[in-house]
Structure formats: C-alpha cells, structure tokens
Amino acid sequence: MHTSLALLLELGVILVGLSVLGAAARRWSVSPIPLYLLAGLALGNGGIAPVPAAGDFVEIGASIGVVLLLLTLGLEFNTAELTHSLRRHVPSAVLDLVLNATPGAIAGWLLGLSWPGVLALAGATWISSSGIISRLLSDLRRLGNRETPAVLSILVMEDFAMAVYLPVLVVLASGGTWWQAIIGVVVATASVAAAFTASHRWGHHVNRWLAHPDDEQLMLRVLGTTLVVAALAELVSVSAAVGAFLVGLTLTGTTAERARAVLAPLRDLFAAAFFLAIGFAVSPSDLLPALPAAFALALTGILTKVATGWYAARRDGIAPRGRLRAGTALIARGEFSIVIMSLAGAAGHQIGPVVTAYVLLLATIGPLVTRWSSDWVRRPRVERPRQP
C-alpha cells in the first residue's frame, strides 16, 4: 500500500510538472522536449528530486512511447511513397553513415577503446532519434513539409541498418565469433525484408481488419496489433520502432485519420515518459568528466547531420530553407544511442559517460536548433514604396 501511495503521488507530481513545462514551451513557441529531458535529469538517480517509485513506470512507458511515436509517424505516409523515397535516398544514407559514424570511431580510437568499443561509439554518434524527431516534426507542424520525406527516409534506413549493426555489436562486444555475427545479420535482414514486403503487398487486408466504426474498438485493435508486431520485431533483433512504423504504413485513408485522432492522447502521455527516461538514464555526477569529449562530439554531430539532411533534401529539389530544416531535424540522438551504450557497457566497454552526456546535449539542443532554423533563413521582407 505504501508503494502504491508513493507511486500515485510521484506520478501525479510528475504529470502536473510536465503540464507546467508544456505550457511554458507553448508560451515560448518551442518544443517541450528539451524541458522534459531536463526534468528527467532532475528526477532521475542522482538528481535533485529523485522519484524511485515512479522509475519502473517511466521505463515501461518509455518503451511504449517509442512504439506510439513511430506508429503515428507511419500513419502520415503510405508504403508506395516510402518505397519511392527510400530508393531515391540510398546515396543519402551512405553519406549519413560516413559523416556521422566516423567521428565516433575516431573519438573511440583517441580514447583508447577496444575495437568493439570503437564500433559502439561510432554507432552512438551515427543514429538519430526517431522518437524525438517524429514528435518534433509533429510539434512544429512539419509533417506535411516537402523536406519531410527526405528526413523520414534517413530515419527509416538508419532503423533498418540497426538490424545489421546491433547483432554484430552484441556478438563482437561479448567476444563472439564472426560467423555468429553473420547468422544474426542474416536472420534480422531477412525478417525486415519479409515484414516490409508483407506490409507492401498485403497491407490492405490488415487495414480492412483494423478498421472499425467504433473509436474504442479501433484504438484497441490498432494498439494491440502494433504492440504484438513490435514484440515480434524485437524477437528477431529488429527495432520495435520499425515494426510499429510498418503497422502505421498499412493504415490509409479515413482509418489512418481516425487512428491518429484516437491514439494522440496516448502517444503524448507515453512520449513524455520516453523523454523523461532519457534524462533518468543520466547521472549528473557522471557528466562532468565526460563533458569535454561529449561537447566536441556534439558540435561535430550537429554539423554532420545538417550536412546529411541538406544533401538529402537537395536530392528532392528542396530550396535552401527546407534543406536547413531537414538537416537540423536530424540532429537529436536518443533511444538507439542509449541501447548501444547499454549493450557495450554490459560487455565491459566503458562508453557510458561520454554517450549519455552526448545524447543529453543533442537531445536537448537539437529541438531548439530545429525550431529556430527557420528564423535564421527567413525570407527578407519586401518593403513596398510609400505612396506620395
């Protein structure tokens, strides 16, 4: 009973606090994500006001939050649009890998890490946060912008690449052999290909089954199916976010519009838990020694992601304003970097302080830079001549 009372009290205080922060963010016309991240830092272990009873809820809610964020992002597009965009942006994905993994690999070598540690740090600096970016695009009302398909293509190909990267990292970090890593890659790659093919060819059957005139039934069917698919994706070493995104792609038309409406409150609640969880994962006492390296990596990561988004948007014929918006939207790092850090740390490769400081910096700075980027390139006002 005491634990329940503590849980209810802490959750109530957290939600009220997030409400105040969200209202302040709207007052300042910025995304609430940076404020939620800082709140997580203050409320996590080692923070100024830890909430131990609510920790498990936040951790579980964070997993659901990523799934819902990617599901609602998938609802904005369809398989045909995504397939066309993915084919067009293979060169963008290659540039993304080269520009953003290289700084992490160099930093790992300079820090004297082992080769698995170098590989882990390269992955942590490479992958953008699909969860943060999808919420950010929604907050800033940019889902319908012309540069958004280019941003989405980069994110989806990064998530698909994790199906290859994570099995290799797990095996090598734990001292496994190359043939074990190859088996894991083959299984994960085949699973992603099969899921994407099924979504493209038979998605209309799924759409027909999930559709229901009652909002409650629609919510339960879509949410339940998404969680099952996300779990199956994790089972074959593919990101749950990829599975949720594919479910979103299968829903089209009126069903997709209604699903967005009924799932929006749930998405916002669990997305807040996701942002809090990133802050919870950081102990403030561990940040200070790692800040110099993290600042250097963060500055480099901002420049390389802007270059990546600029190039990808240019391939779609987007004007410079849109190219800058695309580049700044990709800055934030988050869930995958934390996962990579955890896998490497479990195998004894100590990249935790640097990665946590790096993620916190870019997850906080990225949404602010994205919000203000349009102001930096705002078209000059044309003054009309005064009438005599």
- Residue 379: count other Cβ atoms within 10 Å of its Cβ: 7
> Which range is most confident: 30-34, 58-62, 72-76, 234-238?
58-62
- Residue 385: count other Cβ atoms within 10 Å of its Cβ: 5
Q: Domain residues for 135?
A: 2-373
- Residue 106: count other Cβ atoms within 10 Å of its Cβ: 16
**Per-residue DSSP letters for 227-289?**
HHHHHHHHHTT--HHHHHHHHHHH--HHHHHHHHHHHHHHHHHHHHHHHHHHHHT--HHHHHH
Phi, psi of 283 (to 5 degrees): -95, 120
| Alpha carbons within 13 A on the beta-carbon side of 242 | 28
| DSSP 8-state secondary structure symbol assigned to residue 334 | -
Would you say 283 and 45 are in contact if contact means Cβ atoms under 8 Å apart?
yes
Per-residue pLDDT tens for 174-201? 776 677 777 777 776 777 677 667 766 7
Mean pLDDT of 262-281: 88
Q: 204 in a domain, yes or no? A: yes
> Which range is most confident: 47-61, 180-194, 306-320?
306-320
Q: 170 in a domain, yes or no? A: yes
Q: 16 in a domain, yes or no? A: yes
Q: Kindly tell me if the per-residue pLDDT of 73 is higher than 70.
A: yes
CATH assignment of the domain containing 21: 1.20.1530.20
Per-residue pLDDT tens for 214-226? 999 999 999 999 9
Q: 384 in a domain, yes or no? A: no
Phi, psi of 349 (to 5 degrees): -100, 110
Q: Kindly tell me if the per-residue pLDDT of 258 is higher than 80.
A: yes
Indicate the helix (H) or strand (E) that contains 44. none
More confident residue, 364 or 300: 300
CA pair distance 154, 193, nearest whole angstrom: 17
Q: Which residue has the tokens 């490769």?
A: 349
Q: 383 in a domain, yes or no? A: no
Question: What percent of the chain is predicted at pLDDT more than 90?
Answer: 35
Residue 237 gets the label, from left (phi > 0), alpha (psi -120 to 50) or beta, of: left
How many independent structural domains does the chain possess? 1
Q: What is the pLDDT of residue 108?
A: 92
* Mean pLDDT of the chain, nearest integer: 84
For 38-47, 216-225, 231-240, which range has the lowest pLDDT when averaged over its residues?
Answer: 231-240
Would you say 305 and 330 are in contact if contact means Cβ atoms under 8 Å apart?
yes
Q: 161 in a domain, yes or no? A: yes
> Which range is most confident: 45-59, 84-98, 331-345?
84-98
Indicate the helix (H) or strand (E) that contains 47. none
Q: What is the pLDDT of residue 374?
A: 64
Q: 382 in a domain, yes or no? A: no
Q: 378 in a domain, yes or no? A: no
Would you say 303 and 366 are in contact if contact means Cβ atoms under 8 Å apart?
no
**Per-residue DSSP letters for 120-151?**
HHHHHHH---HHHHHHHHHHTT-TTSTTHHHH
